[in-house]
A and B are shown apart, each in its own frame.
Chain A
Amino acid sequence: QVKLQQSGAELVKPGASVKLSCKTSGYTFSTSYMSWFKQIPGQSIEWIGMIYAGDGGTGYNQKFKGKATLTVDTSSSTAYMDLSSLTTEDSAVYFCARDDRRWFAYWGQGTLVTVSS
């Protein structure tokens, strides 16, 4: 069955960077799309961007350009998201979700990122 397993919680200092992972199984990763989302606890959800695993092509929400960088490793069927120059406003839960023609049936369990000195 389809699984998306995200990396564990991160506690990082302001100004630092962090790389989150989303390891997939149960489907053909190399011809699929993956989207990433941000959710501050108690708030709604924001779409960060998407990546096509076939060629690494990306599309970003303008709000997250320069903040998030999406990459993939097809050899390990894993998607990654780098978050840079972290501030307290980046503290949130981040989800990956398989993007199937713009609907999202499969989600990772989420990674909590806490930015604090």
Chain B
Amino acid sequence: DVVLTQTPPTLSATIGQSVSISCRSSQSLLDSDGDTYLNWLLQRPGQSPQLLIYSVSNLESGVPNRFSGSGSETDFTLKISGVEAEDLGVYYCMQATHAPWTFGGGTKLELK
């Protein structure tokens, strides 16, 4: 199975600060169809996961544009340009290129 390693496991930020989360894959996530199925989700406490970014860099409808995704092959990054209070929770990267789909261990974003 593909292993996704997220760093850091915990991130402390102040409101307005810009932060980045890294997701590294144990193998390339470039699919034979040319797409790269790397998604980013946010899970707020007690809630279901929420899709933020799909296929590396595509912003899901309704998600604020302070969120952005980048990367290729095995190295990916989620950036939040100006953290807001509603952004707190656990961020997960998830790959759906190689079955079974797998998730990273999560990055908890906390207020400093």
Q: Do A and B come from the same complex?
A: yes
A residues adjacent to B (C-beta < 8 A): 35, 44-47, 59, 61-63, 95, 97, 102-105, 107-110
- The verdict on B71 contacting chain A, using a C-beta distance below 8 Å, is no
A102-B49 in contact given A44-B104, A46-B103, A47-B102 (Cβ < 8 Å): no
Pick from A61, A95, A103: contact of B55, CB under 8 Å: A103
Q: Is B92 an interface residue (CB 8 A)?
A: yes
Q: Number of residues in B with C-beta < 8 Å to the partner? A: 23
Contact present for B49 and A45 (CB under 8 Å): yes
The yes or no answer to B100 lying at the interface (CB within 8 A) is yes
User: Closest Cβ of chain A: how far from B58's Cβ, in Å?
Assistant: 8
**Which of A97, A102, A108: most chain B Cβ within 10 A?**
A102
A103 touches B104 (CB 8 A): no
19 extra A-B contacts, CB within 8 A, seeds A44-B103, A59-B99, A104-B51? A44-B92, A45-B49, A45-B92, A45-B103, A46-B103, A47-B102, A63-B100, A95-B49, A97-B49, A102-B96, A102-B97, A103-B37, A103-B51, A103-B55, A104-B41, A104-B49, A105-B54, A107-B50, A108-B48
Taking a contact as CB atoms under 8 Å apart, the answer to whether A109 and B37 are in contact is no
Bound Cα distance from A78 to B102, whole angstroms: 25
B interface with A by C-beta (< 8 Å) = 37, 39, 41, 48-51, 54-55, 60-61, 92, 94, 96-97, 99-106
The answer on a CB contact under 8 Å between B49 and A107 is yes
Chain B's nearest CB lies how many Å from the CB of A105?
Answer: 5
Can you report 27 residue pairs joining A to B where beta carbons are below 8 Å apart?
A: A35-B101, A44-B104, A44-B105, A44-B106, A45-B49, A45-B94, A47-B100, A47-B102, A59-B99, A61-B100, A63-B100, A95-B48, A102-B37, A102-B97, A103-B39, A103-B54, A103-B55, A103-B60, A103-B96, A104-B41, A104-B49, A105-B51, A105-B54, A105-B61, A107-B48, A107-B50, A110-B48
| Chain A residues positioned under 8 Å from B101 (CB to CB) | 35, 47, 61, 102
